[in-house]
Structure 1
């Protein structure tokens, strides 16, 4: 009899990226373990590939104009080898980056490159990776024999990628945002990009420093109640409560798919069951 699937612990790329890619060494071990298990559990069911075009929330800016159209392509055997090599001795972040660079054809008509990838909002990067999954394996994620944590029943589940929760921007071209802080202060911030994500990834085993890196990059200024403005304040000088407020805002406002927030209603017991979607689930078998 087939053994039930045990949902893995795994690093995600949405909110955790904003909060500092917590514990990257543990994430590395977890991601490699999950990828090994995925190879043994079989390839994802392949549906007819969908449209490879998509519209990003922000895109890239060239000479004052924002370009949001993008195109991805289906993964090939050469990509599979490159992705597997990227995962050796590394973390899921490097696998993610390799997927993004190899299978994104263009953004705004500009060929994908490390420079373009670094400019994109984290949420746009994640939207591209989800689109690559759709182009390569089709619209549906198939799960078999998932154990319901409420009643223990094994569940077979089909999840359309379109059903994954997502966040949009009310004003896609808006770059700066105001965040109210304690004691009447106000911070002006921008949303993190791939370049910021890369800088955080380079910091190991220190979440506070990872948070400081994001804050130091994304907090443009803080204005005190008396009107005094401090531009690019050192993150270490910000009050702890204000740091958490800003990090929370960045995480909530960042657009794109919320893979870790997916849940479904189990009809048998009527309970809402959390099913965080991660990179290994999207690309099982890589």
Structure 2
């Protein structure tokens, strides 16, 4: 009998967070645990790849015009070798997927500079589209243990069932966030370049990583008396205001909410959380 899949406790690449992607030991262990079931089960069944053209939430701006259309392609054996060469870093694997699997955004071919400009949510949506083009729309799970009743569950999850956050106005690039004491911060949403800067901080200091995000994404702070500070030092912001801004950046970032997927187990009637990670999307590779 096949051993049940045990989902590891590690940070999903799709939780819109900017932390926790550069622990090689945890990433390797987590990936191996998730891939064990597929190694035992044999080759994946590839469905109809469907459409390879998607519309991003924000896209890129060139000379005042916004371009949101993107094209992805099915991954090949050469791409698989390149992804394997990226090693155990989830971020490097993610970047390799983008560079290999995305043909164009707007009229531009994908490269590192273009990838760094995209919102984090657009990048994650592109990876979802690459997965769909390569393996089809469905994620198949076998022998998942229900955390409430313990029964083993077989489950098919369409990618379309993963919660998705949209931007009310895709062309809005600045947002006002109310703070304490009548103040307000004007911010922009984090991009791939911001994510890379955060991950360059290797000491595991989460507060320092938060400061990096805030220092890059907070454009100005307006006090109740009307005075404005441009690019305030992140360390000068109160802890409460820092948390408020970071929550706004996370909640407003568009794209798939991989960590928020749930399903109702018919046997016990309980809602079960099933985070979708990079290892889950591309298991079997």
**Interval of TM-score (by shorter of Structure 1 and Structure 2):** over 0.9
Inter-partner Cα distance in structure 2 for 1:195 and 1:118: 5
- Per-residue CA deviations over 1:51-93 (Å, capped at 9, x if unaligned) read 1000000000000111000000000000000000102xx4111
Question: 2:191 aligns to what?
Answer: 193
Mapped pair 1:96 → 2:94: yes
Mapped pair 1:32 → 2:28: yes
Instruction: Map 1:228-243 to 2 at 5 A.
Output: 228-243=227-242
Q: 1:116 aligns with which of 88, 92, 114?
A: 114
Aligned positions, number: 280
Inter-partner Cα distance in structure 2 for 1:131 and 1:63: 27
TM-score, normalization by structure 1:
0.95
Instruction: Please state whether the residue corresponding to 2:5 is helix, strand or coil.
Output: coil
Runs of 4+ in 1 over 6 A off after TM superposition: none
Question: 1:249 aligns to what?
Answer: 248
Question: 1:183 aligns to what?
Answer: 181
Unaligned runs of 5+ in 2: none
Question: 2:139 aligns to what?
Answer: 141
Question: 1:61 aligns to what?
Answer: 61
Inter-partner Cα distance in structure 2 for 1:29 and 1:213: 24
Q: How far has the Cα of 1:121 moved from its partner? A: 0.1
Inter-partner Cα distance in structure 2 for 1:195 and 1:174: 19
Inter-partner Cα distance in structure 1 for 2:184 and 2:116: 28
Q: How far has the Cα of 1:49 moved from its partner? A: 0.9
Q: 1:168 aligns with which of 163, 166, 169?
A: 166
Question: 1:265 aligns to what?
Answer: 264
**Mapped contact 1:123–1:257 kept (Cα < 8 A):** yes
Question: 1:153 aligns to what?
Answer: 151
Q: How far has the Cα of 1:172 moved from its partner? A: 0.3
Inter-partner Cα distance in structure 2 for 1:76 and 1:63: 35
Mapped pair 1:9 → 2:9: yes
Inter-partner Cα distance in structure 2 for 1:80 and 1:38: 18
Inter-partner Cα distance in structure 1 for 2:184 and 2:99: 37
**Mapped contact 1:123–1:256 kept (Cα < 8 A):** yes
Inter-partner Cα distance in structure 2 for 1:23 and 1:69: 28
Inter-partner Cα distance in structure 2 for 1:168 and 1:81: 34
**Mapped contact 1:5–1:146 kept (Cα < 8 A):** yes
**Mapped contact 1:14–1:122 kept (Cα < 8 A):** no
Inter-partner Cα distance in structure 2 for 1:267 and 1:57: 34
Instruction: Please state whether the residue corresponding to 1:24 is helix, strand or coil.
Output: coil
Inter-partner Cα distance in structure 1 for 2:243 and 2:132: 35
Higher relative contact order (CA 8 A, sep 6+): 1
Q: How far has the Cα of 1:24 moved from its partner? A: 3.1
Question: 1:129 aligns to what?
Answer: 127
TM-score, normalization by structure 2:
0.95
